[in-house]
Amino acid sequence: MFKTDLPGTYTITGTNQDEQSSPYTGTLELALDQHNRIIANWQIGDFQTQSGTGFFQDNVLVINFNYKGNDEETYEGVVVYKCMTKDVLEGFWSEDQGNPMYLGSELCFRVDSQLEAVN
């Protein structure tokens, strides 16, 4: 898999970095900038947007992200995705606002992809 395989829109389902593993859904948009760096933009639910930049090597995608909380403070974190296929990403994440005893999780599925069955 190559970095150029990553750009696109993904639906996401995840759990938050808390004891209850609170669920969330949204979308993730991946793109490459003019310097071939990975740009990420998340829409979590109806109200939260997050953005970040990252790098890709050996089918692992790492993105440093940030967002403004309800209190207008900026929060930062990192997400690590294993690229299962060019259409499926499986990841875990941590941020400074979350409970340090837990990790968040996220599954991403490319929108409008033709997933192939594995026999």
For residue 78, give the CATH number of its domain: 2.40.128.120
What kind and span of H or E run contains 84? strand 74-85
Which has more confidence, 44 or 98? 44
To the nearest 10°, the Cα dihedral for 89, 7, 25, 102?
A: 50
Using left for φ > 0, alpha for ψ between -120 and 50, and beta otherwise, residue 88 falls in beta
pLDDT in tens, 49-106: 999 999 999 999 999 999 998 888 999 999 999 999 999 999 999 998 888 999 999 9
Chain-centroid distance of CA 47 in Å reads 17
Q: Is 7 a member of any domain? A: yes
By DSSP bridging, strand 88-95 and strand 74-85 are antiparallel
Q: Is 83 a member of any domain? A: yes
> The whole model's pTM is what?
0.89
- Domain residues for 105? 3-110
State whether the Cα torsion 85-51-22-112 is positive or negative. Answer: negative
